[in-house]
Structure 1
């Protein structure tokens, strides 16, 4: 044991430093404070009903009725208890407070990769810091994109396992790949995993090319076979999650359109304009090197010393009113950010030193991994441009499998942010243990310095030579300023001119800052080449300066001010008077809250009510189509009735006072109808519900006609049907009818899991009114149950259990074999 500590002491020390860095950066978390994350708060609204039933039953339901009239919980919160990786993630979340757990995983995973690349431990630590503290990795934590952050954290260890496998450490490499890929998939951010897959596909292609070239195809086939088996195992471990996700995705806005008359609806996948909304501006790629070259984050980022403040002060605005005035003007475009995105949380800053070393790596690294990094980075960079490079983006969007399922194409830059530090650190390793002549290395060092330093000098001396520092709608911005200043065009022009000056100043200051770090990095590399310093000292110094560089930028976007007392977060879900009044009603109903902006982008009402609104990127397609057709402009009252919308919340013009309307026409949770109106397709069905009486008529697609026996059906005016017990995925009704009756249920249609039972016997049911469930019920007094029993979940969980056991056994065997191998070598 003592020998083990002696051999691994430096690794343990570095891990200890990583833990310390995380606790120092997020010190408020140790004081009992919590990070204010908007998406996490929205998630609490989404999950409230699920968590309430989890606390009651010991397990969460697979369906929730708190959002969008009802939807599967698969992409909100589901346990997947048979998946071993669930417990790995839970361990880190239990031991380390949020978001320390995520950043620590960033560091540990990257450190493993750099060790596998045979780096000196301190150089590996520098690489881990460069990857972990990349600005985007912290911005998504700030926004609350926890799943995305966790998915990114497992990029490096997956690559580490793949590299080991191609190095002929077949078993260990494959098992590590299976383990980390399984955890990656379990983080449940398929978009990030998909982008990693694109990059790894290129890596495998390059390995195949070199195997054919060096006539080692047998080794490649063996490695590839192990990796294929590892991938299958990782997928099997997540069978329950992947199966339900795939099944659900086909029914969401990412699936095929049901309507044919609306040409704007995509046939499959997301709408192109929606997917390209967040495209990286071509010029904004300069932020990799200079964080504020495009103004940083959106919003009022100017202080009293800014040119805009001076302009306002010269017009007579008092000093104490300058900040409020600039905040008000920010609503019409007074923001330092001037890129093409609707808004941004900050730049993609990879570090000035890392960019410099990346360029150096292109010159001096001989390993074939360089060509993979270069090709994958270029492809991902070009794809991130989205609408700015439509030829390539449309090619992938239209023809590359699943690519059109994802939005915010700029997110693919996570691959560039992952790969750039790898080549940068490989460059330092090449310098430290070089075989080339020092003169040649110095020459390449100068070339790299000329490229990065020269670009920075241009940005400092002549920033407007290539950049305008004006948004595309700069003219419209001046017009709005003119209106606000009561037609004073000269004043409006002076404000706009001052804003441009502030943007230029920000760019210059950060360019100068980056130049300083580039010179420090070049100095450390020169010292390595000339052997002026001990390599170990250089590696430690490099880790420190990279940390200082990235840490200071991260602090602009994620700092102590973002932490608040937990009771402050609790206040975000404090019920208003109207909420408390509505919650007195213990019956089953839905609420549409129009008092807090767009109800379909807000999950706060879902915290208190079964809401027609909500917040989720994967709504059911049919529900979205109803929103587009029946809620766009005037709200269709008939549709509100069929959705059992008993309460409507509105606010006055100032948004200060909320009022509640009790809608007596709501149809209820279930009802019998007198008449069936058949339609030929979804278009006619949508048209039919535009104006109809949902309490008396059900609109049914002809394809369900065989499920209705008109010879048995009759309307019993004295009949009734009522909900007697409620559980999100188990609804129990009792009913009475003298004859077979047609019943409509104010519940979302989702055929992949819901089953209907009368007195325990399974019966067929069908879709009515475009999005609701309906059934022909046998006459008499009976108990009816709707149970959500998706095969994809339950069978998938069985597969997950078997695969999890195999993964654990394989991991144990691989570790035993590795220990045995080292004992033999010793």
Structure 2
């Protein structure tokens, strides 16, 4: 045991240092406070019904009616208990408060990867800090993109596993690759997993080229086989969540359009404008070096000392008015609709990346460079359509994802790795110090020269004007009663403020790079001991990134749990509706952007909500029937029992009951057939849903074969409500068509009449309907998706195999290190 501590003591010490860093940065989290994360609050609202029944039943329902009329809950929250990685992630989350768990994964994962690359613990720690504290890794956390952040945190572990396998350490490499591929997928952000897959394809392409060149294709084939098997095992472990997601995706907004005549709807995948809405501006690449090159975040940053405030004071405004006005001015001037902050990798880290292009040799450098360049080009999205359109139209699955700027997550890992390799090459024993100093100077001339020019003449490359600059001048002029000169002068002052922010951060980056170059020069010339030099470089990197991260994720973002609970408290009108004993009805809240907000889902089953992949049919109904003007017939068939509207004062909310809501289920007296989806959509534009059912002709045989007629005194009522298990009782004097105010989703819902499974069909474009036999009967609707239940059993099988491989890899490593 003492030998083990001697061998690993420095690693334990560095991990303890990482823990201390997290404790200091996130002190409020250790004091019981919670981070105000917008997306986490949204997620909590959308999960309200799921968590309610999870507490009652001990397990979450597979379906929820809390938003968009209803959708599978595995697209919102589900446990997947037979997946071993579910429990590993639960353990990680329980080991430290949010968000310390994710930041520790950033740091430990990168440290492990760089150790696999053979770097010293001190240098690996520098690289871990460079990646872990990269600005967007913290911005993701602040925004509440927890799954996305965790998916990125597993990147280094996967790359380490792949590199170990490429070195023919098959058992260890395969075990690590399989485990962390499984964890990566379970983090449930397929977009980030997809981007890593693209980067690894580049790596394998380079490896294949060298294997072919060196006539080692047989060894490469074996390695590739091990990696494919490892990745397959990671997929196998996640069969439950992957199968359900794949199955659902065909019916979601990521799938094909149901309407053929609507040119606004993409035939497959997302609309391109929507997918590329968050594209990184080409000039915004400079934020990797100068964080405020484009003004930083969309949130206000100016104060009473700003040029805008001074300009207003010069025109007669008092300082308080001028300060308040300046605080509302947009400093971010990039092309994105808004941003939470810049992609910043650290000034000296980026300098080291450039330096690494000169001093690092070998295929790993070309992979890091290639993956970095591709990720940056793809992040440009609509601003570099030559490449982006190629990927969007021809690369499988690429058009399923939005916010293409997230491609930069790959660069955020590759840049620190090459930066650390540059330090290693420049300072390793036997390195030509004169040659390294020469290349250090070349790198300095390039990077410092750019910074000096931009400091002197910022407008040589940048206009500091957004695309809506003229609109802003017009708005400012209107504030001054149509005074154009006023608008122009305030807009000019805003440009001055943006230039000041740019210059301040350019100078900041210049200083960090100069200090870093000085320390690296001393290391190359052996003026200081290597551990001390690396510690100083680590402090330079940490100080740079730490101070930048504090702009976006700081102590003020943490609040007491009581304050968080108050934020989610229902209004008086919500409490009134919640007292309705009816277990299943819907609400339309018009006080919020109902189809983009999750607020109402916290308290009601709403026809609105927020989800990035809602059902395609529901989105089409929103676009055609509920946008611009509300179609009352559609609201009635959705059993929209209450409308929430703004009061006369614009602040309070009031409630209005909808007397024509159709209820949970009803018999119709007439069925009208539509030839296709387009005709079906057109038919529900104006009809009486309480009497008429619009049915697509593809289901005609299910109705005519049963000879259904109009019931004389038919009655049907809901007797038991559970999100994924509904019970009805009905009586009718003849075979009759009943429409249920439940969303049609064919992959899992089954209908039983007196315990016998009975076919059903789609009605009114969105709902379920069936021909019910005459008499008094009981109906059960059960959501029993085979993709979940069979998928979970396959996940269990994969989890057992993964556990055995991990055990074997650990055994072999222990046996290998035992003294003879």
Q: What TM bracket, shorter-length normalisation?
A: over 0.9
SS of 2:667's equivalent?
A: strand
Separation (CA, whole Å) in 2 of partners of 1:717 and 1:514: 81
Structure 2 match to 1:551: 546
Structure 2 match to 1:71: 71
Separation (CA, whole Å) in 2 of partners of 1:264 and 1:611: 26
Do the aligned partners of 1:590 and 1:612 also contact (CA within 8 Å) in 2? no
**Residues 588/677 of structure 1: CA separation in 2 closer, same or farther (3 Å cut):** farther
Structure 1 match to 2:323: 323
Structure 1 match to 2:340: 345
Separation (CA, whole Å) in 2 of partners of 1:117 and 1:309: 52
Separation (CA, whole Å) in 2 of partners of 1:489 and 1:513: 36
Shift in Å, 1:653: 6.2
What TM-score do you get using the length of structure 1 for normalisation?
0.98
Structure 1 match to 2:438: 443
**Which range moves more in the overlay, 586-595 or 672-681?**
586-595
Separation (CA, whole Å) in 2 of partners of 1:554 and 1:441: 32
Is 1:723 matched up with 2:721?
no
Do the aligned partners of 1:66 and 1:606 also contact (CA within 8 Å) in 2? yes
In structure 1, stretches of 5+ residues that fail to align are none
**Which range moves more in the overlay, 444-453 or 707-716?**
707-716
Separation (CA, whole Å) in 1 of partners of 2:591 and 2:564: 18
Is 1:634 matched up with 2:629?
yes
Say which of 570, 577, 583 aligns to 2:572.
577
Structure 2 match to 1:432: 427
Shift in Å, 1:68: 0.5
* Runs ≥4 residues deviating over 3 A: 588-596, 709-712
Is 1:467 matched up with 2:462?
yes
Separation (CA, whole Å) in 2 of partners of 1:546 and 1:169: 33
Structure 1 match to 2:766: 771
Report 1:532-611 matches (<5 A): 532-611=527-606
Tell me the alpha carbon deviations over residues 701-726 of structure 1, each in whole angstroms, 9 at most, x when there is no partner: 11111111366322223221111111
Separation (CA, whole Å) in 2 of partners of 1:339 and 1:590: 44
Separation (CA, whole Å) in 1 of partners of 2:502 and 2:294: 7
SS of 2:716's equivalent?
A: strand
Is 1:303 matched up with 2:298?
no
Separation (CA, whole Å) in 2 of partners of 1:323 and 1:219: 67
Separation (CA, whole Å) in 1 of partners of 2:756 and 2:592: 45
SS of 1:556's equivalent?
A: coil
Structure 1 match to 2:358: 363
SS of 1:708's equivalent?
A: helix
SS of 1:601's equivalent?
A: coil
**Which range moves more in the overlay, 450-459 or 311-320?**
311-320
Shift in Å, 1:475: 1.4
Separation (CA, whole Å) in 2 of partners of 1:399 and 1:655: 49
**Which range moves more in the overlay, 362-371 or 596-605?**
596-605
Separation (CA, whole Å) in 1 of partners of 2:686 and 2:624: 12
What TM-score do you get using the length of structure 2 for normalisation?
0.99
Is 1:663 matched up with 2:648?
no
Separation (CA, whole Å) in 2 of partners of 1:253 and 1:439: 59
The count of aligned residue pairs is 820
Is 1:382 matched up with 2:377?
yes
Report 1:83-98 matches (<5 A): 83-98=83-98
Tell me the alpha carbon deviations over residues 427-461 of structure 1, each in whole angstroms, 9 at most, x when there is no partner: 00111115442211111101111111111111111
Separation (CA, whole Å) in 2 of partners of 1:11 and 1:438: 29
Is 1:152 matched up with 2:147?
no
Do the aligned partners of 2:729 and 2:777 also contact (CA within 8 Å) in 1? yes
Do the aligned partners of 2:752 and 2:779 also contact (CA within 8 Å) in 1? yes
Say which of 516, 523, 548 aligns to 1:528.
523
Do the aligned partners of 2:591 and 2:653 also contact (CA within 8 Å) in 1? no
Say which of 792, 808, 812 aligns to 1:817.
812
Structure 2 match to 1:179: 179
Do the aligned partners of 2:671 and 2:695 also contact (CA within 8 Å) in 1? yes
Structure 1 match to 2:746: 751
Separation (CA, whole Å) in 2 of partners of 1:601 and 1:571: 22
Compute the RMSD of aligned alpha carbons.
Answer: 1.1
Tell me the alpha carbon deviations over residues 594-615 of structure 1, each in whole angstroms, 9 at most, x when there is no partner: 4433101111111111111111
Separation (CA, whole Å) in 2 of partners of 1:402 and 1:652: 46
Structure 1 match to 2:143: 143
Structure 2 match to 1:190: 190
SS of 1:119's equivalent?
A: coil
Structure 2 match to 1:209: 209
SS of 2:301's equivalent?
A: coil
Do the aligned partners of 1:593 and 1:649 also contact (CA within 8 Å) in 2? yes
Separation (CA, whole Å) in 2 of partners of 1:61 and 1:487: 58
Report 1:414-425 matches (<5 A): 414-425=409-420
SS of 2:86's equivalent?
A: helix
Is 1:225 matched up with 2:225?
yes
Shift in Å, 1:49: 0.3
Do the aligned partners of 1:712 and 1:739 also contact (CA within 8 Å) in 2? no
**Residues 491/157 of structure 1: CA separation in 2 closer, same or farther (3 Å cut):** same
Do the aligned partners of 2:437 and 2:524 also contact (CA within 8 Å) in 1? yes
Do the aligned partners of 2:425 and 2:431 also contact (CA within 8 Å) in 1? no
In structure 2, stretches of 5+ residues that fail to align are none
Structure 2 match to 1:484: 479
**Residues 297/379 of structure 1: CA separation in 2 closer, same or farther (3 Å cut):** same
